Amino acid sequence: MKGTAECRAKAFREICGLEGEPEGGGGEEISFTFDTGDIIKLKNMVLRVTGSQQLKHLTSTAEGLHEGAGQGAGLPYRSSLSQVLHCSLVTLLRDIVTSCTLPLDPGFYHQLVKVCELEMEGGVRELGSSASASSNERAFHVICILSAATDMLVWASRNDTEIDSTFHRLSSLLTVHTSRFNVLVSPLRATILEGISSLAVRSQTLIPAALNTYKDLLYSSLLARMYSDAVASGNMESVLTARPTSFQMLTSYRLTSVHVSRADAFACVQWTLGQVVYSTLQAACEGGREVMDGFLASLGNKLYTTDANDNFALRTAECIVMVLGHVASHMGSKFNVVATVTGMFGQRLFHPTSSLDGKLVGELARIAAHTADPETMEEVVRLMSLSLGESSPNKEKKYGHIYQPMMDSLTFLARYLGDGEQRRELLLKTLQQFIQQGIMAKKASDSTQSTHKATSSSFSLGLLLPIIAGLAERVEPFTDPPKKVIVIFRDFWLYCVVMGFSESAGVFPAGWYRSVQAVARKSPLLLSMGAGQFLDKELELNRPLRIESIGQGDVQEARQSLLDGLDRSLELDRLVVRLSFSQCLYLISIHRLETLRLETSTKNFPLVFNYLEDKGLQGELWVAIEKIAHKLFDQYIEQMQAKTATEESAAELESLTELLVFKFNHIRGRIKQLADKFISKVVDKFSHLLWSRRVVYTMLDLLHQLSLSLHTMDPDRRRSLVVTLPDLPHSVTVPENATKREKTVSYFAQRVEQILELAMRWSPRETTSILLEYVRSVASSAHHSGVSLATAQINNYFDLNPHNKHVPPVVSESRPSCVKDHLSLLSSSLHRRTHHSGEVAGMMTAASIMAGVSPGNEGREKQETWLNLQLYLPRNSEMLSGMV
C-alpha cells in the first residue's frame, strides 16, 4: 500500500465497504462522515475478522513467506501479526463509535457490551499467561486492546443493569497485580479509573461505591509500591510542575520491549486518580456535601494515624496528600474544600516530624498557586520563615528537612502563581527572607576564620536568587513604590554587593548573575526618598552594616571597590576618602544596579537622571553619582555602537538626545553641564543626530517656548514656570529670577546655533532641507524664535550669490546687501516647497477619495487615479511618477 493519505483513505473505504467520500482535501488529516449504517457495517466487519481464524492464518502465511524468501525464521514484528492487526481494528472501532452522536438501535449497544466483555476476559487471561522472553511486546498490544475495550464498554453501557455490571467489572480489575507488567499496565489503570468516574457521574447511586474504590486503590500496596519504585528510579521530578510529565507510553522496538518509565507510570495513575476523585466529588455535591465531607474525613483520619516510622505507610500517606491537594486545587473556593484540606495538612505538619512534611509543603504551595487563597499563602510564607529564617541548631533540626521542598515550592509559586498582587507580596516576603539570611551569612563570615563556612553561607543565600528572579520577571516594575519597598530593595542590593552576587566574574554559578540581572530589570530606583541628611543614619543603622562589625580594612576595601568601578581621577580620589563605609556600599549598589539594568536594555539609561535630581543626595554623594552617570553613559555608548543600525535604534538615540536637550536647560547648573557633555559625546559617536529632523525640530520648538517665558514674568508674583512640548514626556522648569531666565535662553540659543553650524558644515544639504521644511511647517503669523534662528542659519549658509563670490572684499563691502546676498534663493525655495507640498497634499487627498469608491479594487483604482491626475497635471508628471 502506498504511503500517501489518498491511498490510505481509498484502502480504508474499500476495507470498510464505504461509498462516501472523505471530507477535506490534500492534508494528512482526513475526516469521514458516517451514518448509522456505516457504523454497524464497521462493527460487524471488525467482529467478523477478530472473531475468526483469519488473523492467525494470515500470521502463519506471512511467516512462511518470510522464511521462503530466505529472511530467516519469524517476522520482524516482536508481537505476532495477528495481535498487531487485532489491536489496530479494535482501537479503530473505539475511536469511531465513541465519537458517534447519532442515535443507534439498543441492540447495537447490547451486542457491543457483550463483545467488549469477551475482549476484556481474553485480554486478562493473556496478561496472566504471558511468560516468554517477548511477552512485553504482546502485553503492550493486549493492554491497548483492553483500554479500547474499556472505553467502548463504558460508552455502550446504557441501562442501569449494564452500568452496574460494568462498574463492578472495572472495580475488580483496578487493583489486580500483573507481576512485572505493573508499570506497563498503568495507562490501562488510568483508563479504568476514568471509566469508573464516568459511570458514577452518570448514575449517582454509584458515587459512594466509586469513592470506596478510589480509597481502596489509595490504601493498597500496589500504589505505594509504584510510588516507591518511581522514587527509587531517580526519575521523579524534584520540582513541582503544573501537570505531570507526559505519561504517554514510549514505544521502542529496537531491543526488547516497549518502555514506560516507572516515574511516568506512577504519574499517570496518580494524576488520573486525583482527577477522577475531583470529578466524582463534584457530582456528589449536587445532592449535598455529606458524601464529600465523609470522604475527606476518612482520608484525613488515615493521614493523622500514619506511623512516621513505617516507610510503606508514609508512601501511602504521601499519595493521599497528593490526591487531597489535587482536589483542593481544582475545587477552589467551592464548598470550603480549600480550608478543610489545608486544615488537615496543618494538623499533620510536624506532628510528628517526618518525610511527609515535605510533601505537605509542596501541596500547600500547589493549592496557593491554583486558588490564590490568601490564608494558604500566609501559611506558605510562615513555613518559608521557619525553613529559611531560623538559624539556631534546634530550629535547623526541626525544620531543616523541609528546606529543599520549600525551595521547590517557591520555584513553583514563582512560575504559576496567578494573582499579580500576591506575586508582588510574595516577592517582597522572599526578599525579606533573603535579607534575613544575609544577616546570618554576614555573622557567619564575621564570627569564623573558616573560609569554607563563609562560602557555604553565601551559597545558601544564593539559592534564593533564581526564585526571586522568577517572581520579579512576572511582576510589573516598581516605578513609584512606598519607602518600605525601596528600603527592602536597597538592603537586597547591599547584600548582593557584599556577597559578590552582582559581579559577573566570581565563584558563583553564572545563573545567579542572570537572576540578579532579572531582578535589576524590575527593581525600583534606590533614591533617598527625602531622607536628606538622615540618609547616612539610615544606612549606618542597617543591620549588616553596623559600625561595631566594621573594621578599618572593610572601609578601605569598600573605597577601593568604588574607585575600581569608576574612572579614576584626582577629584574622585579626594572624594572617596571622605566617604563612610555605608556610603561607599550604597554608591556601589546604585552603580551595580543601574549597570545591570542598562545591560538588559539601553532604554533604561534616562533613569540615571532621577538620581541626579534627587534632592536627598547632596555633597560628596551627588558628586559620586555624577561620576557613576559618566560611567553609565560610556557603557550606553558602547552598547549602542555594538547594535545593528535599525530604525528602532535610531529612534532610541533621537529620544535620548531630546532628553539631553531638555536637561541642558535644567535649573541646576551641574546637571546642565553634564547634559552638555553627554550631547557632545553622543553627537561625536553618532554624527547623524546633528541633522536629525526630530532633534532639530525639538531644539527649535523648545527654544521658542523658552523665549516666551521671558515675556510671562509677573513682577508682583514671581513663580516658576514649567515648559513642555506636545507629544514629549519631558519638561523644563525655568528659574523664578528674570536674570537667570535670560541666561538660560541665551545659553541655549548659543548652543543650538553651534549645533546647527556644525550640522551645516558636515551635511549642508540635509540640514538646509530640514530647516527650510521647519520654516514652512510653522503656522504662525507672530514672531517665532525657532524660525528666526533657522532662517539665520540658512542665510549664513547661502552667504553670497554666485556673481559676488569671487569679487574682491573691498568691492563687495561697498555693494548693497540686496545685490550681493542670496536671500532671493531662500525665498524662492520656500515658495516652491510650499507650492508643491500643497499640490501633493491635494493629489493624495483626491487619490484616497477616488480609491475608496470601490473597496474591492483598491490597487487598480489607485493606479487609474494616478493616471487621471497625470492627464490633468502634465507639467508635474515627472514628480507624480516619482511619488508612485
Distance (Å) of CA 412 to CA 205, 408, 703, 840: 39, 6, 55, 61
Position 883 scores a pLDDT of: 37
Count Cα neighbours of 786 within 13 Å in the Cβ-side half-sphere. Answer: 24
Task: Determine the Cα–Cα distance for residues 532 and 91; give it in Å rounded to an integer.
Answer: 77
**Beta-carbon count within 10 A of 500 CB:** 15
Q: Which of 592, 627, 642 is at the close of a domain?
A: 642
The three grid cell numbers given for residue 460, joined into one nine-digit string: 545558601
pTM of the model: 0.79
Task: Determine the Cα–Cα distance for residues 572 and 589; give it in Å rounded to an integer.
Answer: 17
Please indicate, yes or no, if residue 296 is contained in any of the structural domains. Answer: no
Q: Which of 764, 798, 832 is at the close of a domain?
A: 798
Task: Determine the Cα–Cα distance for residues 642 and 658; give it in Å rounded to an integer.
Answer: 22
Please indicate, yes or no, if residue 370 is contained in any of the structural domains. Answer: no
Task: Determine the Cα–Cα distance for residues 300 and 341; give it in Å rounded to an integer.
Answer: 8
Number of domains in the chain: 4
Does 792 share its domain with 836?
A: no
Provide the residue type at 452 as one letter.
Answer: H
The residue length of the chain stands at: 884
Does 786 share its domain with 652?
A: yes
Please indicate, yes or no, if residue 219 is contained in any of the structural domains. Answer: no
Specify the residue for cell string 506512577: 266
> Strand locations in 793-867, DSSP E?
none
Does 720 share its domain with 618?
A: no
Computed on alpha carbons and rounded to an integer, the radius of gyration of the chain in Å comes to: 40
Please indicate, yes or no, if residue 620 is contained in any of the structural domains. Answer: yes
Does 607 share its domain with 684?
A: no
Task: Determine the Cα–Cα distance for residues 521 and 495; give it in Å rounded to an integer.
Answer: 17
Position 505 scores a pLDDT of: 78
What's the pLDDT tens digit per position in 428-457? Answer: 999 999 988 877 766 666 665 544 445 566
First to last CA, the chain: 57
The three grid cell numbers given for residue 621, joined into one nine-digit string: 554623594
Does 638 share its domain with 648?
A: no
One-letter-per-residue 3-state SS of 655-666: HHHHHHHHHCCC
Specify the residue for cell string 553609565: 632
Does 784 share its domain with 687?
A: yes
The SS3 of residue 169 is helix
Does 650 share its domain with 637?
A: no
The SS3 of residue 716 is coil
Does 769 share its domain with 714?
A: yes
Backbone angles phi, psi at 731, to 5 degrees: -150, 160
Under a CB-based contact definition with an 8 Å cutoff, are residues 719 and 682 in contact?
no
Does 625 share its domain with 655?
A: no
Please indicate, yes or no, if residue 475 is contained in any of the structural domains. Answer: yes
Beta-carbon contacts of 486 under 8 Å, excluding residues fewer than 6 positions away, are 524, 525, 526, 527, 529
Residues of the chain falling short of pLDDT 50: 1-5, 7-8, 11-13, 15-20, 22, 24-27, 131-134, 238-239, 242-257, 391-396, 450-453, 716-717, 815, 819-820, 853-856, 858, 862, 865-867, 869-884
Please indicate, yes or no, if residue 470 is contained in any of the structural domains. Answer: yes
Task: Determine the Cα–Cα distance for residues 793 and 799; give it in Å rounded to an integer.
Answer: 10
Distance (Å) of CA 746 to CA 665, 671, 723, 784: 11, 17, 16, 15
Position 257 scores a pLDDT of: 42
The SS3 of residue 566 is coil
Position 289 scores a pLDDT of: 87
Does 743 share its domain with 654?
A: yes
Please indicate, yes or no, if residue 631 is contained in any of the structural domains. Answer: yes
The SS3 of residue 132 is coil
Under a CB-based contact definition with an 8 Å cutoff, are residues 530 and 615 in contact?
yes
Structural domain harbouring 638: 559-642
**Beta-carbon count within 10 A of 160 CB:** 12
Does 837 share its domain with 724?
A: no
Does 458 share its domain with 498?
A: yes
Q: Which of 623, 642, 661 is at the close of a domain?
A: 642
Please indicate, yes or no, if residue 43 is contained in any of the structural domains. Answer: no
